[in-house]
Amino acid sequence: SNSSLIVGDLAMIKLIRHIFPGIHPEVEMTRYLTRAGYDHTAPLLGEVAHTDSSGRRSTLIIVQGAIRNQGDAWNWMLNNLRRGADELVLNDPAVQPGDDVFQPLISFVAMVGMRLGELHVVLAGETADEAFSPVIAGDSEVEAMKKAVAGEVAYAMSKLAEREENADPAIDLLAAPLLKRRSELVELAATLAEATRHTLMTRTHGDFHLGQILVSEGDAVIIDFEGEPAKNLAERRAKTNPLRDVAGLLRSLSYLVATAQLDNDAVIEHENEVRREAIARFGRQAEEAFLDAYAQAVSASKALDMPPDQRRRVLDAFLLEKAAYEIAYEARNRPKWLPIPLSGLTEIVSRLAGVPA
């Protein structure tokens, strides 16, 4: 959606490739966060915009402060996770990961949870700016949420049903049980989304995953607030429950673990199993560290507080939505990757049903 130019240590210039009239979400968000004093994103320095003869305004260029970094969190974590797992297998399979070789990664994930929580606290604050003023989810908001979440699940199931049978037996094995329960899954998603009633709705990142985070000297810097490119402008700027961002990061961690297990240097099956289990344990520890740090950060805002059971149900609704979105995306673009989101959705559904995946 854009091309970027780096000007020394001073600025990053984004040249917008897909021009559309209206308020650009990234300009709007970074301007608001810069004025609010949120330090863990690239500050907005300015923009270049065009106004046509009818008064319609379109952003052409966004200029943000440059951030010294070691890369985005996805690539940085994936490389280090693979390296750590290989080191673990080659040196001492008895060592428990999380205590040593994976600890820097787990600490970083906790930092991500803290920075996201701090972001949500800022966005939950009272303001005279109507575009950022939080609202309480009432009947219309809840119905819209239910429609969005259930609709995403229904669309994912339809994309699975369109696949040519026997094209890939491994995918069919994962997809068949979900397709048999497609109506139940759509209903489950809508039921869980009902838990958003009376919760706070705010502006959010909108497309939060590990690729939207820079690793900067051990800290996490959140970037790219333009929202999901496939959504229209109104959807990108809409207020929603902040746990949608949390679900996005949890699903990104799930993808990270699955991707790290694909390629390895293990030479025998035993080594491969040790490596696989080590990465899986890392995934569980990273998820716990992220959620704990996030919860601690958002505790600073009473407006974001909700009972634990309600929080879990809201988060589960968005986890279903995110996994379904991934299934539809992979079915359209990378069919060979379908086992990752299919396994993710299966695990979520199994947990909700109280049975082993």
The answer to whether residue 93 scores a pLDDT higher than 60 is no
pLDDT, mean of residues 52-67? 94
- Which of 138, 143, 119, 135 is CA-nearest to residue 204? 119
How far is residue 13's CA from residue 284's CA, in Å, rounded to a whole number?
A: 38
Q: Minimum mean pLDDT among 169-178, 271-280, 312-321: which range? A: 271-280
SS3 label, residue 262: coil
- Say what the pLDDT of residue 265 is: 56
Query: How sure is the predictor about 51, in pLDDT bands with cuts at 50, 70 and 90?
Result: very high
pLDDT digits (tens, 9 = 90+) for 218-259: 899 999 999 887 788 888 999 999 999 999 999 999 999 999
The token pair at 321 is 């939505």
pLDDT, mean of residues 7-15? 93
- Say what the pLDDT of residue 99 is: 55
Quote the pTM value: 0.93
The answer to whether residue 269 scores a pLDDT higher than 80 is no
The answer to whether residue 337 scores a pLDDT higher than 60 is yes
- Say what the pLDDT of residue 97 is: 47
- Which of 113, 112, 293, 90 is CA-nearest to residue 219? 112
Query: How sure is the predictor about 143, in pLDDT bands with cuts at 50, 70 and 90?
Result: very high
pLDDT, mean of residues 159-170? 80
CB 209 within 8 A of CB 245: no
Burial classification of residue 144, based on how many CB atoms lie within 10 Å of its CB (0-12 exposed, 13-18 middle, 19 or more buried): middle
- Say what the pLDDT of residue 166 is: 61
- Say what the pLDDT of residue 20 is: 86
- Say what the pLDDT of residue 98 is: 45
The answer to whether residue 108 scores a pLDDT higher than 70 is yes
72: β partners:
214
Rounded to the nearest 5 degrees, what angle is found at the Cα of 139, between the Cα atoms of 304 and 294?
20
How far is residue 289's CA from residue 111's CA, in Å, rounded to a whole number?
A: 9
The token pair at 178 is 């979900």
